[in-house]
Amino acid sequence: MKFPFLILIFSLVSLTVSADKPVKIFNELYRPQFHFTPEKNWHNDPNGLVFYKGEYHLFYQYNPFGNEWGYMHWGHAISTDLVHWEHLPIALFPDNDSKDKELCTAFSGCGLIDYNNLTGLQKGEEKTILLFYTSQKCGQRLAYSNDKGRTWLKYEKNPIIAFDETDDARDPKVFWHEASKQFVMVLYRKPNNDDKQKGVSFYTSQNLINWDLKSHLPGFFECPDLVELSVNRRADDKKWVLFDGDGSYVIGSFNSEKFVPDSPKMPGDFGANYYATQTWSNIPESDGRTIQIAWMKGGEFTGMPFNGQMTFPCELSLKKFTEGIKLVRKPIKEIELLHEKGEKWENENLIPGLNKNLIRGVKGDCLHIIGSFKIKSADSFGFVIRLDKKNNGTELMYNVKAKTLSCMGKSAVVEPVDATLKLEILLDRSSIEIFANEGKVVMSSCFSPLENANGLYLFNTGGEILVEKLEIYPLESIWEKEK
């Protein structure tokens, strides 16, 4: 299948859009076609996620000098639909004119809108966008924009929380706590350089400048996030979810000063490449979603001009199951904006040895697969993805007896519901994201398939399955000509 690979035009030095530069086509072998990547160089954690006047801002850890970690800046992109991204110039540079690989570089943080000008930094009609970030070994700092995020200034009285050499404090997440009418900062810390105390601290503020430490909760490491979600979408039943750097989470209660867990820490993703989750702030009430993205840590992009990619944005919710309340994560509905003409099957009974590959006509390296499978007498079933002419590919398999879903060397227990397993799969050129049973179990992994290996095979062994419904849509590229 063919994709309309459009063009992006950048300045090779500053990433500033420039019409007189040669065109750059985002069409390399392992270039994701609907997951975010920078044009070139290393990137990792998503930062500063904030919505303002129709634009979703995505900042990210970025090394403008090469494909390795270090010399952290904040790269910047915007989107009107969380799918198509426009690259903007670098937003944050290291502090104190640092040229060091780590000292005073711009580590992770968050974004917020200062609607009431509490900081006094607003100049003009636009509300001030605030970026809270860690200046590594130089304290927690603040930057701001008065022109919808196009240019950035550093707060002249930085740091807002001083560096402490006996601590490893970083990755602030700031949000408004409605019940207590104040702002909360969640900050990773290692007090007294004690590994046993690695965890998250909770601060409060009335003005976004002066912060008071309220409590500390050990047992967490890096990139915290804290969000309130409804259980089963009921407005009268809400819980707080505290995320760790690896995407694992704890459900509990929070009173603006202290988090009290109601659950053990649970894995947020069972795949090989998932880290540094963050959620967007300031999503309009009319939308109401909590939207999360993560860095696909550890992915390999051999021969590519860039190193790293983000997951596809997902909507979070809490759902009550027989074993307790769990986080559910599903791709945002905007994925449908990329759908090309697809194929559908319903009520197809598959018998091993008698059926040819039901989906043999499907080819492609970017697909959205949505299926519901009734387990009858099969021992296993699944897909072989990115199949080549020698029948080599990447296997995604469900073992019926063990109740395990496996892919890319990782596995997770998935309990069928009424003998049915639902799968939603996002396949891009260098990643597979699998959402089982409507997002109860998620597996996010990177991979490097062979060039021109675009086949897809649906198999079952040992007995029958019923394909209750299966939809497969080719996905078009998100990369359009930059404005």
Active-site residues: which are they? 45
Residue 103: count of CB within 10 angstroms of its CB:
14
**Which amino acid, one-letter code, is at 115?**
Y
Beta bridge partners of 174: 185
Taking the C-alpha atoms of residue 75 and residue 80, their distance in angstroms, rounded to an integer, is: 18
- Residues 6 or more apart whose CB falls under 8 angstroms from that of 419 comprise 374, 375, 376
Taking the C-alpha atoms of residue 44 and residue 72, their distance in angstroms, rounded to an integer, is: 10
CB 202 within 8 A of CB 186: yes
Taking the C-alpha atoms of residue 247 and residue 225, their distance in angstroms, rounded to an integer, is: 9
Residue 7: count of CB within 10 angstroms of its CB:
14
**Which amino acid, one-letter code, is at 97?**
D
Taking the C-alpha atoms of residue 321 and residue 440, their distance in angstroms, rounded to an integer, is: 10
Which tokens hold the place of 139?
Answer: 């304290």
Taking the C-alpha atoms of residue 37 and residue 306, their distance in angstroms, rounded to an integer, is: 7
| Consecutive H or E run containing 426 | strand 420-428
Phi and psi at 321, nearest 5°, equal -115, 175
**DSSP letter (8 states) at residue 438:** T
Burial (CB count within 10 angstroms: exposed 0-12, middle 13-18, buried 19+), residue 457: middle
**DSSP letter (8 states) at residue 193:** G
Tell me if the bond preceding 352 is cis, omega within 30° of 0.
no
